[in-house]
């Protein structure tokens, strides 16, 4: 049966294209399903960044991550410009690189004036290697190793201290530097938000941050450490959030903490309100725009500071998903299929949970199109299965597609966040390649792994060799 829109219009893959006339039109990338440059070309194929997806698959293979540089840059610009417009003090947007940390992504966002939020020594090393200035890098983590802390100290980045153990460890490590260590304190605000249980980080029962009941003791301890330069406070309430009120509540709470810090002589000049703005994974998702989110944060911070008669701090935020998720798609090649009469039809692709673990981990929902036949009518409801030896390796349940066949190119939308960064070699599958596209040109930013890469770290004891 051919699927139709409520207006009676026959549905095709084109329904997912960005609804705007040109790149200068005011649109928030996190509210779109496909990258902003997506269109259907004269060959009835999906095109992104001026590059035909089917041609990219022929050139680079599949699965293939395809990052649209224009969409990523526009999201960076909207965050930066919105803070400049709505906040009367200084501000700095940080890219939460755990969403997708690689050299090219770090270099692109840094060129747009953003800093980088990192959560491990590996992410920190990558950002530094990409040329990001250390004074714009902030290291997070609830259990940083001494080697990670040492790299952060010697590099001169800001350390976001998560707990007492880390705080006291830093005091012991002061001999490694002649300058005070620049830190922020991460606090747990106790704010609930409607998102997946695994990605709520602001409620009291969380592994992250100092408990608010310990604030006075923490401020008192820090005030006595001449080797620590506590410049700010940090809090984060979760991810993929559509509500604005929890962020307003967070901003208000953080200004109260700022007031409390001054009582102990802790000169806090920065507040980091985290990130968490959601994106549109499906038609029913309705996240606020980047501008709306920033405006809400700025208004409440400024009002709270005025009420407390406090100078405006430098305001930091750390979006990740809302910057990069919709800027990327993943292209797969369709292979086998299986019809289970009166139950479902499985359509298998050449990737799965190793390149996108979010469906099996978070029950995440995605949309897809057949990229080589964009105008074909949607006639089937199928289940997109991965190729792994795992019954739960299902990328999309009840995907609405045109009649498909082996060799078709399936494009899954919104895969820029937590796809490559959470990818694995499960079943010893090689991780996919990634390209960045712009102005009709595609450049490799991550090489496809080979079988030799898979065994590179293997060690075979002499006694086992034949």
Do residues 161 and 183 lie in contact, with contact meaning Cβ atoms separated by under 8 Å? yes
Residues of the chain with confidence (pLDDT) below 70: 1-9, 20-25, 175-178, 190-205, 244
Q: Are residues 393 and 446 in the same domain?
A: yes
The residue written with tokens 């806090």 in the block is 268
How confident is the model at residue 147, as a pLDDT? 96
User: Is 195 a domain residue?
Assistant: yes
User: Is 92 a domain residue?
Assistant: no
Q: 427: domain CATH number?
A: 2.40.37.10
Alpha carbon distance 103, 107 (integer Å): 6
DSSP, res 157: P
Q: 264: domain CATH number?
A: 3.20.20.10
Torsion of CA 92, 93, 95, 96, to 10 degrees: 90
How confident is the model at residue 6, as a pLDDT? 54
Q: Are residues 53 and 160 in the same domain?
A: no
Using only C-alpha atoms, what is the Rg of the chain? 24
Q: Rounded to 5 degrees, what angle do the CA atoms 75, 98, 289 make?
A: 30
Q: Are residues 208 and 351 in the same domain?
A: no
Alpha carbon distance 191, 449 (integer Å): 42
Domain boundary among 263, 286, 319: 319
Name the helix (H) or strand (E) containing 183. Answer: strand 181-186
Q: Are residues 305 and 337 in the same domain?
A: no
Alpha carbon distance 325, 71 (integer Å): 10
Q: How many domains does the chain have?
A: 2
User: Is 7 a domain residue?
Assistant: no
Alpha carbon distance 333, 405 (integer Å): 10
Q: Rounded to 5 degrees, what angle do the CA atoms 49, 368, 198 make?
A: 100
Alpha carbon distance 413, 71 (integer Å): 13
Helices (H), ranges, 203-345: 215-223, 245-263, 290-307, 321-324
Alpha carbon distance 152, 159 (integer Å): 7
Helix 215-223 vs helix 164-172: crossing angle, to nearest 10: 10
Closest CA to 285 of 322, 334, 230: 322
175, 207, 365, 369 from 336: Cα distances, Å? 61, 43, 22, 17
Alpha carbon distance 327, 70 (integer Å): 8
Q: Are residues 309 and 369 in the same domain?
A: no
Alpha carbon distance 199, 303 (integer Å): 29
Q: Provide the sign of the torsion angle of the four alpha carbons 76, 81, 82, 87, taken in this order.
A: positive
Q: Are residues 300 and 388 in the same domain?
A: no
How confident is the model at residue 171, as a pLDDT? 93
How confident is the model at residue 364, as a pLDDT? 95
Which residues are the active-site residues?
389
Domain boundary among 260, 288, 319: 319
**Segments forming the whole domain that contains residue 169:** 140-319
Alpha carbon distance 125, 115 (integer Å): 14
Q: Are residues 273 and 369 in the same domain?
A: no
User: Is 414 a domain residue?
Assistant: yes
Domain boundary among 262, 290, 319: 319
User: Is 78 a domain residue?
Assistant: no
What's the whole-model pTM score? 0.93
User: Is 95 a domain residue?
Assistant: no
**First CA to last CA across the chain, in angstroms?**
60
Do residues 386 and 426 lie in contact, with contact meaning Cβ atoms separated by under 8 Å? no
User: Is 376 a domain residue?
Assistant: yes
Q: Are residues 163 and 271 in the same domain?
A: yes
Q: Are residues 336 and 313 in the same domain?
A: no
State whether residue 149 is helix, strand or coil. Answer: helix
Q: Are residues 185 and 304 in the same domain?
A: yes
DSSP, res 354: T
Alpha carbon distance 62, 76 (integer Å): 28
Q: Are residues 270 and 308 in the same domain?
A: yes
Q: Are residues 336 and 282 in the same domain?
A: no
Closest CA to 182 of 201, 160, 162, 197: 160
Q: Provide the sign of the torsion angle of the four alpha carbons 216, 218, 224, 228, taken in this order.
A: negative
User: Is 356 a domain residue?
Assistant: yes
């Amino acid at each position: 049966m051919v699927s139709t829109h409520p207006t009676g219009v026959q549905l095709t893959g084109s329904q997912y294209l960005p609804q705007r006339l040109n790149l200068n039109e005011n649109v928030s990338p996190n509210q779109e399903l496909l990258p902003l440059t997506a269109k259907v070309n004269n060959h009835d194929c999906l095109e992104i960044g001026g590059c035909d997806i089917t041609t990219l698959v022929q050139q680079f293979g599949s699965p293939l991550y395809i990052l649209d540089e224009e969409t990523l840059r526009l999201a960076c610009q909207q965050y930066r410009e919105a803070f400049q417009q709505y906040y009367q003090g200084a501000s700095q947007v940080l890219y939460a690189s755990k969403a997708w940390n690689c050299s090219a992504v770090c270099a692109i966002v840094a060129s747009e004036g953003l800093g980088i939020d990192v959560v491990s020594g590996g992410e920190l090393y990558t950002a530094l290697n990409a040329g990001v200035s250390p004074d714009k890098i902030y290291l997070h983590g609830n259990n940083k190793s001494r080697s990670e802390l040492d790299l952060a100290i010697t590099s001169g980045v800001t350390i976001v201290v998560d707990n007492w153990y880390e705080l006291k460890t830093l005091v012991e490590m002061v001999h490694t530097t002649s300058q005070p260590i620049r830190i922020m304190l991460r606090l747990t605000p106790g704010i609930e938000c409607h998102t997946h249980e695994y990605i709520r980080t602001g409620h009291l029962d969380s592994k992250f941050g100092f408990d608010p009941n310990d604030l006075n003791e923490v401020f008192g301890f820090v005030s006595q450490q001449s080797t620590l330069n506590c410049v700010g406070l940090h809090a984060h309430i979760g991810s993929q959030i559509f509500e604005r009120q929890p962020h307003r509540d967070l901003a208000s709470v953080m200004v109260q903490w700022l007031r409390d810090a001054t009582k102990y002589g802790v000169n806090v000049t920065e507040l980091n309100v985290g990130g968490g703005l959601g994106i549109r994974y499906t038609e029913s998702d309705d996240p606020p725009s980047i501008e709306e989110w920033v405006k809400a944060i700025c208004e409440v911070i400024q009002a709270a500071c005025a009420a407390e008669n406090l100078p405006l701090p430098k305001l930091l935020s750390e979006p990740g998903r809302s910057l990069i998720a919709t800027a990327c798609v993943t292209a797969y090649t369709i292979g086998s299929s299986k019809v289970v009469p009166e139950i479902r039809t499985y359509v298998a692709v050449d990737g799965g949970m190793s390149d996108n673990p979010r469906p099996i981990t978070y029950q995440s929902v995605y949309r897809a199109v057949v990229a080589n036949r964009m105008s074909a009518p949607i006639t089937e409801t199928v289940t997109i299965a991965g190729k792994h030896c795992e019954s739960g390796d299902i990328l999309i349940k009840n995907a609405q597609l045109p009649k498909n066949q082996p060799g078709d190119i399936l494009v899954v939308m919104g895969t820029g966040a937590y796809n490559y960064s959470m990818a694995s070699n499960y079943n010893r599958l090689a991780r996919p390649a990634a390209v960045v596209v712009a102005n009709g040109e595609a450049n490799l930013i991550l090489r496809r792994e080979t079988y030799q890469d898979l065994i590179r770290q293997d060690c075979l004891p002499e006694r086992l060799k034949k």
